[in-house]
Amino acid sequence: MLKTMAQPQLKTTVTYTSGTSEALGAGWDVMRVLYRREDGEQNSFLIARDKSGSIIRKTDLILERWEVVNEEDFLRECRNCYDERDRLAAEKAANMEKGKRCRTIR
């Protein structure tokens, strides 16, 4: 009987980078999501959200092509990315403010 050993889960780091796109204009919140595994494998995608909550993804880096995200699973993942980015930014801001208060109390 041949037994297979379960592969250990590799740690994955997710990085959210906010930006803009000249092609889309000022009304879009553009974000790059980068997944990097500890074995060096990585994947990324670009998404953008407008004020109404519509989300599009970049399909062609050179020709600046975007398409509306309609698949429910990917749409949920995109929304989660925006929520997580905003949560992390709020945490960072709160920690910076806390650090400022600690320094001035002396």
C-beta atoms surrounding 11 within 10 Å: 9
Q: Where are the domains of the chain?
A: 12-99
Pull the structure tokens for residue 99. 């650090």
Instruction: For residue range 7-25, list pLDDT tens digits in order.
Output: 678 899 999 999 988 889 8
The pair of structure tokens assigned to 100 is 């400022």
Task: State the distance between the two ends of the chain, measured CA to CA, in whole angstroms.
Answer: 69
> What digits encode the pLDDT tens for the residues 39-49?
999 999 999 99
Largest CA distance in the chain: 69
Cβ neighbours of residue 35 closer than 8 Å, sequence gap 6 or more: 12, 13, 14, 42, 43, 44
**pLDDT for 69-103, tens place per residue?**
999 999 999 999 999 999 999 999 888 877 776 66
Q: Provide the sign of the torsion angle of the four alpha carbons 75, 81, 86, 91, taken in this order.
A: positive
pTM over 0.95: no
Question: How many angstroms separate the CA atoms of 99 and 23, rounded?
Answer: 39
